[in-house]
Structure 1
Amino acid sequence: LSKVLDLPPENLIKSISAVPVSKKRCVADFQLSVASLTEDSSSNCLAQDLNLQAQKLAERLKCDGVVSEISAGPGTVNFTINRELLAKAVLQQVLKDGSEYGVKSELFSAVPRQKAVIEFSSPNIAKKFHVGHLRSTIIGNFIANLKKALGHEVVRINYLGDWGMQFGLLGVGFQSFGDKEKLKSSPLQHLFEVYVQINKAAEDENTKKMAKDFFRKLEEHDEQTLSLWKQFRDFSIEEYVRIYKRLGVHFDEYSGESFYQEKSQEVLKILEDKGLLQKTTKGTGIVDLSEKKDFSSFSTVMRSDGTSLYITRDLAAAIDRMNKHSCDTMIYVTDKSQSTHFQHLFQILKLMGYNWAERCQHVSFGLVQGMKTRRGEVIFLEDVLNEVRSRVLQNMASAKTTKEMEDPMETAEKVGLAALIIQDFRGLLSSDYQFSWDRALQSRGDTGMFLQYTHARLHSLEQMHGNELLPDVNVACLQEPDAISVLQHLLRYDEVLYRSSQDLQPKHIVSYLLTLSHLAAVAHKSLPVKGSAPELAQARLRLFQAARSVLASGMRLLGITPVTRM
């Protein structure tokens, strides 16, 4: 192509893509999009013109030892690869690259390696881990996994809600209703109970005044007050770490609003020095964000008593992170109700003269509706994790195919988490979705259960016949349509990773893995290893091994630990 078109080969890489496997079968392996070659691929380039160009280009190209067939399609030139070479090249590559298959593709060769700071999860301390934080946690974890796999440097930050008026209330509540023993044994549950009790009492003016005083003491670093707050914080983090472990998530840094109460005063000073801080008649501080400077859009950054707000602390945090990590991109993963907050945050940073604000990004997501356990509406994540584990255990106990295993609880936990993650990641992140246990736990549908089941099945196939695998297997005999479909699908993995890396949406990888599992299931039926001639059995085993390896890599990117038995 490079010779005929007189273009350097690297210019063609993005124009050539693997053809998606089709039910109709017998599709070419690769296609070149003619429109992507012409500079002005605008609407005036009529479709028939593109078809004619494709036709002419196809006529100029000749088949060789690599390409066995060339044909023109609508605006594309299609290539079928020599079948023996296809099997050899794909399986060799998967085997050689292992968990880095797809990532090492030349598609990524022009992508610069960068440093990314990703803030996600961010629960409020002294409150139990809310189900609302589940999406932020698994989405942030996915983005961090993907970026790391692609060779970027990643810093995972959990920015805790650990400051603000509610701690005044909680402090007073603990002084009235708290129990030090209960705080040690089940901190979040106990603080939750205290918070509920004090909230009932908070109607009373005297309680409100005490809460204000407590928070003021906290801001003034009164030792006794600070020591109580610190206990709340430390106990909360300990309990969160335990839940993150169940989710398979870790952080490089726990920070929080409390770190920035003083620095936020510095931010207010910079805003004032730059003439950006305006005072309202009530004495609150605002920043005008309107284009015409008529206050049609503004952000409040200071209370009338001079104390900071959530956004002021966020400004301080962003500046501090940039100074500390000097990263290329800063990503915030929160629900879409905070979109305006982040728009304002980035706008103010820009007004302050921080041009890196353009490299900050808010990845927003919709809400999950209808998460109920058998006991009713659920708000706490731990209840959901326990529920999914017990339901999977039940399913496994009643299934005929369940294997004896050492730790059924742990397997059920991993399978259950896969069910939650796949149901969450199948659509666009910004969409709200209705959660359904029945749909999440189907073993044969497009579910996390199905991915885990396929992985376990392919793994046991390897265990049964694995010792027969020779180093130089002749895979050229893999010519059946079901084998070719799996090979063609494996060809597309790098493109799917590339798409997800561009828009940070996990759904591309999810749908790829579900298709891979369906294709592998079909091939598993029609291409038996057991009872086949040794050479053929070896080649098929190699094919299933490659499918399992790619399936496992993709699952891990999504935050799922593949199980080997279930």
Structure 2
Amino acid sequence: MDYSSSRPRPENGTIHPAPGRAERRRKAGRGRRKGRSRPSEWCHSMAACSFRRSIASQLSKVLDLPPENLIKAISAVPVSKKRHVADFQLSIASIAEDGSSNCLTENLQLQAQKLAERTVLQQVLKDGSEYGVKSELFSTVPRQKAVIEFSSPNIAKKFHIGHLRSTIIGNFIANLKVALGHEVTRINYLGDWGMQFGLLGVGFQLFGNREKLKSSPLQHLFEVYVEINKAAEDEDTKKLAKDFFRRMEEHDEQTLSLWKQFRDFSIEEYIRIYERLGVHFDEYSGESFYQEKSQEVLKMLEDKGLLQKTTKGTGIVDLSEKKDLSSFSTVMRSDGTSLYITRDLAAAIDRMNKYSWDTMIYVTDKSQSNHFQHLFQILKLMGYDWAERCQHVSFGLVQGMKTRRGEVIFLEDVLNEVRSRMLQNMASAKTTKEIEDPVETAEKVGLAALIIQDFRGLLSSDYQFSWDRALQSRGDTGVFLQYTHARLHSLEQMHGNEQLTDVNVACLQEPDAISVLQHLLRYDEVLYRSSQDLQPKHIVSYLLTLSHLAAVAHKTLPVKGSAPQLAQARLCLFQAARSVLANGMKLLGITPVTQM
């Protein structure tokens, strides 16, 4: 399919930080990071990959030098869309003492380039889904156990659009770590405890309807929550809410039964949304799990002399260097009950005991940076050195996300909107073919559009959402990635999905073919970079460039009508491009479509 879209229109409106963890930590500081990362033309910290070793081995015969001397001198640089440069270059000065002859330099660089290009196709098709991750770049990276906490909505509330970022970012990090051979546990830490459930419990007693709760649970609970919040200014209502929550903490059977219904209905509806997003979790836990263990944490803090009492009776931990209370964290209410951070402390300790993890990553919006800084500091003060292996991956706000009905609140509305718009665009496109399941295709392409627009920049940056820009079929969009993948898949089908063997890659001499080959060589470096800073933008940029290069090659390098040997080599090139494109899309949480 191929259709155009009008220029993006400026839109107003801001999506604020996701509820759930954000609501549960509304007192957290709002640290901001500005600035863009500067793309580097050289990957300075890379180890020798299999291509470099292969090239070095063959060049060593020409130069009569040990391969080890050559590996460090071979480096990859990004391919340019506007000009063709050798993706692999050889630093002659680092291997020849006199740094001499220009002729020798050019000759060696040419040989390095040719050898690399001739190797890459066989490597892509041989490694399949493991291409890139099997690179020697990762040979010195130890395999680890990673716990990743992400999404984390508040139960009894519909899935807010603000949760989209936490969910897809956490999913990407988990996907990447699994692909690189790490053992990953995905945890959804639900906001399922606290005074708000006392308020909701009273609200349901006053305004609730059992039938509505069964038929549309979260919509009904949302309506109840709106009503009870209007009444919450009344002191009698506040007292009823406190009493309800007190009975929950005292394990009153009736109040806990109602709370459990809220929780079960919520998880059931969340799972349905997660299926649409292609996301799964290994564990659903929540603050309720750590209600009692948080009391053990308070006892530990007291035993270690870390817990101090204020004049109001609240419990605090002094975090200041000079121990002058210039920085502290409140960990206990005046009545002795725990707070969000206390339960987080208990959860972190429990997860270490349960999983013996090497790294634990929390994915939440950047307003919670202060909370996690305090959390990690307290754990360290308690003597847990592994606190240094905890990490907070923060993200910014989405601005301007509105549906046709106006300002958006719920994620499901956005998913339905993007699917509807994609169906409309597909139906009006002249090149759209008959699709077996257009609704499912529109869902997958629409989700790709959302993910790519979200992942193009630095995660900590806010960004302006635009439906027009996100859904364009041309340009740097998820729709274009999906279209390119479907087009290359169609090309393979036209030629019978042949298993290509003994392909003469030397046939591929055209600049457009060389550009694709050179770009394929860089995939391992891009994966390595994303694995270091956990930013998906490196992979997004790589895939968009690959799609543009493949689109150009598709036009200029026909398979049909070419000489058999050349046709087979070109088909091999396009198969390799599609394979790497699919691999990268899956890491980002996108399901590649085969028709469009």
Output the TM-score relative to the length of structure 1.
Answer: 0.89
Equivalent residue of 1:467, what SS?
Answer: coil
Equivalent residue of 1:162, what SS?
Answer: coil
Deviations 1:324-377 (A, max 9, x none): 000000000000000000000000000000000000000000000111000000
Deviation at 1:532, TM superposition (A): 1.1
**Structure 1 Cα separation of the partners of residues 542 and 97 of structure 2:** 31
Equivalent residue of 1:268, what SS?
Answer: helix
> Is the contact made by 1:165 and 1:212 (CA closer than 8 Å) also made in structure 2?
yes
Deviation at 1:468, TM superposition (A): 5.4
Deviation at 1:445, TM superposition (A): 1.0
Sort the Cα spacing of 1:51 and 1:219 in 2 relative to 1 into closer, same or farther, 3 A: same
Sort the Cα spacing of 1:278 and 1:16 in 2 relative to 1 into closer, same or farther, 3 A: farther
Q: Which of the pair has the greater relative contact order for Cα pairs under 8 Å at 6+ separation? A: 2
> Is the contact made by 2:117 and 2:518 (CA closer than 8 Å) also made in structure 1?
no
Deviation at 1:224, TM superposition (A): 0.5
Deviation at 1:538, TM superposition (A): 1.1
**Structure 1 Cα separation of the partners of residues 69 and 322 of structure 2:** 44
**Structure 1 Cα separation of the partners of residues 363 and 201 of structure 2:** 30
**Structure 2 Cα separation of the partners of residues 294 and 4 of structure 1:** 69
> Is the contact made by 2:151 and 2:363 (CA closer than 8 Å) also made in structure 1?
yes
Deviations 1:248-284 (A, max 9, x none): 0000000000000100000000000000000000000
* Greater alpha carbon shift after TM alignment, 487-496 vs 459-468: 459-468
Select the residue among 70, 73, 77 that pairs with 1:12: 70
Deviations 1:391-420 (A, max 9, x none): 000000000111101110000000000000
**Structure 1 Cα separation of the partners of residues 204 and 575 of structure 2:** 57
> Is the contact made by 2:500 and 2:572 (CA closer than 8 Å) also made in structure 1?
no
Matched, 1:494 2:524: yes
Sort the Cα spacing of 1:8 and 1:150 in 2 relative to 1 into closer, same or farther, 3 A: farther
**Structure 1 Cα separation of the partners of residues 514 and 300 of structure 2:** 63
Deviations 1:470-528 (A, max 9, x none): 53322221111100100000000000000000000000000000000000000000001
Deviation at 1:450, TM superposition (A): 0.2
Deviation at 1:29, TM superposition (A): 2.9
Sort the Cα spacing of 1:203 and 1:148 in 2 relative to 1 into closer, same or farther, 3 A: same
> Is the contact made by 2:316 and 2:329 (CA closer than 8 Å) also made in structure 1?
yes
Deviation at 1:16, TM superposition (A): 4.0
Deviation at 1:448, TM superposition (A): 0.1
Deviation at 1:559, TM superposition (A): 0.1
Deviations 1:94-138 (A, max 9, x none): 110001000000100000000000000000000000011100000
* Greater alpha carbon shift after TM alignment, 177-186 vs 445-454: 177-186
**Structure 1 Cα separation of the partners of residues 206 and 478 of structure 2:** 47
Contiguous gaps of at least 5 residues in structure 2: 1-58
**Structure 2 Cα separation of the partners of residues 517 and 323 of structure 1:** 45
**Structure 1 Cα separation of the partners of residues 496 and 197 of structure 2:** 59
**Structure 2 Cα separation of the partners of residues 313 and 400 of structure 1:** 56
> Is the contact made by 2:117 and 2:514 (CA closer than 8 Å) also made in structure 1?
no
> Is the contact made by 2:519 and 2:546 (CA closer than 8 Å) also made in structure 1?
yes
Sort the Cα spacing of 1:250 and 1:48 in 2 relative to 1 into closer, same or farther, 3 A: same
Sort the Cα spacing of 1:557 and 1:42 in 2 relative to 1 into closer, same or farther, 3 A: farther
Sort the Cα spacing of 1:48 and 1:263 in 2 relative to 1 into closer, same or farther, 3 A: farther
Deviations 1:505-563 (A, max 9, x none): 00000000000000000000000111111221111111000000000000000000000
Equivalent residue of 1:155, what SS?
Answer: strand
* Greater alpha carbon shift after TM alignment, 148-157 vs 528-537: 528-537
Sort the Cα spacing of 1:185 and 1:53 in 2 relative to 1 into closer, same or farther, 3 A: closer
Equivalent residue of 1:52, what SS?
Answer: helix
Sort the Cα spacing of 1:337 and 1:468 in 2 relative to 1 into closer, same or farther, 3 A: closer
> Is the contact made by 2:314 and 2:334 (CA closer than 8 Å) also made in structure 1?
yes
Equivalent residue of 1:535, what SS?
Answer: helix
Deviation at 1:237, TM superposition (A): 0.1
> Is the contact made by 1:18 and 1:488 (CA closer than 8 Å) also made in structure 2?
no
> Is the contact made by 1:468 and 1:538 (CA closer than 8 Å) also made in structure 2?
no
**Structure 1 Cα separation of the partners of residues 418 and 156 of structure 2:** 25
Q: Identity across aligned pairs (percent)?
A: 92
Equivalent residue of 1:45, what SS?
Answer: helix
> Is the contact made by 2:316 and 2:332 (CA closer than 8 Å) also made in structure 1?
yes
**Structure 1 Cα separation of the partners of residues 62 and 103 of structure 2:** 21
Equivalent residue of 1:565, what SS?
Answer: coil
Deviation at 1:466, TM superposition (A): 2.7
**Structure 2 Cα separation of the partners of residues 140 and 390 of structure 1:** 26
Sort the Cα spacing of 1:37 and 1:162 in 2 relative to 1 into closer, same or farther, 3 A: farther
Equivalent residue of 1:532, what SS?
Answer: coil
Deviation at 1:44, TM superposition (A): 27
- RMSD over aligned Cα, in angstroms? 4.5
Equivalent residue of 2:94, what SS?
Answer: coil
> Is the contact made by 1:469 and 1:538 (CA closer than 8 Å) also made in structure 2?
no
**Structure 2 Cα separation of the partners of residues 452 and 476 of structure 1:** 30
Output the TM-score relative to the length of structure 2.
Answer: 0.85
Deviation at 1:19, TM superposition (A): 2.1
**Structure 2 Cα separation of the partners of residues 200 and 174 of structure 1:** 14
Contiguous gaps of at least 5 residues in structure 1: 61-88
Deviation at 1:17, TM superposition (A): 3.0
Deviations 1:131-179 (A, max 9, x none): 1110000000000000000000000000000000000000000111111
> Is the contact made by 1:331 and 1:361 (CA closer than 8 Å) also made in structure 2?
yes
Deviation at 1:36, TM superposition (A): 10
Deviations 1:170-210 (A, max 9, x none): 00001111111111111100000000011111111111000
Sort the Cα spacing of 1:41 and 1:292 in 2 relative to 1 into closer, same or farther, 3 A: farther
* Greater alpha carbon shift after TM alignment, 356-365 vs 31-40: 31-40
What residue in structure 2 maps to residue 181 of structure 1?
211
